[in-house]
Amino acid sequence: MSVRYNDLISDAQLEEAALKSMAGLTIASNQVAIQEAIRDTTDRFESFFDRFFIVRSFTQRIPINAWSYNRLLERYVAWASDKPIVEIKSIVDTAGSTISGTTVTREKSSPNSSYNWFATSTPRDCRVTYFSGYKRSDQALADLTGTGPGQGGLTTLTVTPDDLPSDVRRKAIELAMLYMRRALDGTLGSSSRMQQVGSQVVTVNAIDSRAEDKILESIAGAYKRRV
């Protein structure tokens, strides 16, 4: 088992976090638990946010009425279903034939946004094939385009995506740590509460059944896919 190209964090990133917070952890003897936690985290993120984070290829149908004229760009724009747009590869009509004389580029809907718009001077009912997503900080373009173990096989990708946003990376590590603890000692998360024991009030740790959801919900507003 190895880290997949589309996993949100690397084994080195999780190992570093685990060594800091889990006293006595031996990395060599827990490689399977580490890699399973990474895979479970990626799968849970993709399911909860209804999107892929690491770059891959998409094809989107853009009907003629989806284009709207933007006065600032002086071009027609349409929203991308999957963001951020990394590279546009082709534009064809609904029958699959290449459209000549029509160019589609990527644009930002605001200075601080990602590339989330398609833009063109000649709107058409079309299908656009493009790459969308991020990369891990430890990945280079060759890791995404290569066809070896743990590589993406995106052989036609020529633009290097931006790194995964830091808040997504932090929350992915946090969730993976919960999965690690569950695998190693049977708890998913814990919370502290005060409890009366005889004449004493003591602090006890209780399993937090919503620990996983709390991590995901903390960044849902920024990253959950909206159709």
Query: 157 φ, ψ to 5°?
Result: -75, 130
Among candidate residues 203, 225, 183, the one with its CA nearest the CA of residue 58: 225
Residue 225 has a pLDDT of 81
CA distance 79 to 200: 60
Residues 106-159 pLDDT 10s: 999 999 999 999 999 999 999 999 999 999 999 999 999 999 988 999 999 999
Q: Please state the pTM of the whole predicted model.
A: 0.86
Maximum pairwise Cα distance, the chain: 83
Q: What residues does each domain of the chain span?
A: 11-53+163-223, 56-132
In DSSP notation, 155-192 reads TT--SPPPBPPHHHHHHHHHHHHHHHHHHHHS-S-EEE
Length of the chain: 227
Q: Of all residues in the chain, what percent are helix, strand and coil, respectively (each to 5)?
A: 30, 25, 40
Q: How confident is the model at residue 200 (pLDDT cuts 50, 70, 90)?
A: low
Tens of pLDDT, residues 62-83: 999 999 999 999 999 999 999 9
At residue 87, the pLDDT reads: 98
Give residue 138's pLDDT. 96
What pLDDT shows up at residue 163? Answer: 98
pLDDT in tens, 207-221: 566 899 999 999 999
* Contact (CB, 8 A) for 160 and 188: no
